[in-house]
Amino acid sequence: MSTLLVIAKAPVAGRVKTRLTPHFTPEQAAGLARAALQDTLAAVLDTPARRRVLVLDGAPGPWLPHGIEVVPQCAGGLDARLAAAFARAAGPALLIGMDTPQVTPDLLARGLDFGEADAWFGPADDGGFWALGLAEPDPALLLGVPMSLPTTGELQRARLTASGRAVRDLPELCDVDTPADAARVAAAVPGTRFAALHSGLRTVTR
């Protein structure tokens, strides 16, 4: 079986989801980040995998469920941190972030199936990507790809195909970066911690 990697920041006010402010307070934004991370880790726990690893910037807290291995993020840009995360897997792996609480075990299991694919790519609707699966991780596939741009996903996928790998796509998802993203994702997955918290915060802040 393969490894599931989640790269994330600890949900600390002022350090995460800063683009959700000033619509939400820093504490509320951190609460939404925590809920998104909890929903993501719940889906990870319900997905068959050899290892489930949280690659964390910061310290784990009471939000961390049992069954998740925690390792620290390395220093450097996001491309370097993603490459280092794959190195932790030492084998086939699917990496996701903490920005898609709508992710499901079925989607994750699909991205871990390397029977007919060398790589899986999950595009995000902001031009980035929410998932990357590699049957044979190689730092050269990530290092130097410019991150956090509207063209990041296109450039990353092109890097995969240029390497000769057979790439298959996962469905496009919305990352939670802005208040509009948060509202959209919460409406799409009403049964999640993220949606419940978002609904409560909207009630309070009206």
Task: Give per-residue burial for 14-46: e unless 16+ CB within 10 Å, then b.
Answer: eebbeebeebbebebbbbbbbbbbbbbbbbbee
Dihedral (Cα; 150, 44, 189, 114), 10-degree rounding:
60
Name which of 189, 157, 159, 158 is nearest 35 in CA terms. Answer: 189
Tokens of 129: 């990507």
pLDDT for position 205:
58
pLDDT for position 188:
95
β-strands 51-57, 69-72: how paired?
parallel
pLDDT for position 1:
73
Per-residue pLDDT 10s for the chain (206 aa) are 799 999 999 999 999 999 999 999 999 999 999 999 999 999 999 999 999 999 999 999 999 999 999 999 999 999 999 999 999 898 999 999 999 999 999 999 999 999 989 999 999 999 999 999 999 999 999 999 999 999 999 999 999 999 999 999 999 999 999 999 999 999 999 999 999 999 999 766 55
Domain span at residue 77 reads 3-205
Q: What is the tally of structural domains in the chain?
A: 1
Q: Are 96 and 108 in contact (CB under 8 A)?
A: yes
> What CATH number is attached to the domain comprising 20?
3.90.550.10
Name which of 83, 79, 86, 71 is nearest 135 in CA terms. Answer: 86
* CA distance linking residue 128 with residue 155, whole number of Å: 9
- Residue partners of 109: CB distance under 8 A and separation at least 6: 47, 48
Sheet-wide strand order for 93-96: 69-72, 51-57, 3-9, 93-96, 129-134, 119-123, 167-169
* CA distance linking residue 73 with residue 149, whole number of Å: 21
* Residues 166-195: tens digit of each pLDDT: 999 999 999 999 999 999 999 999 999 999
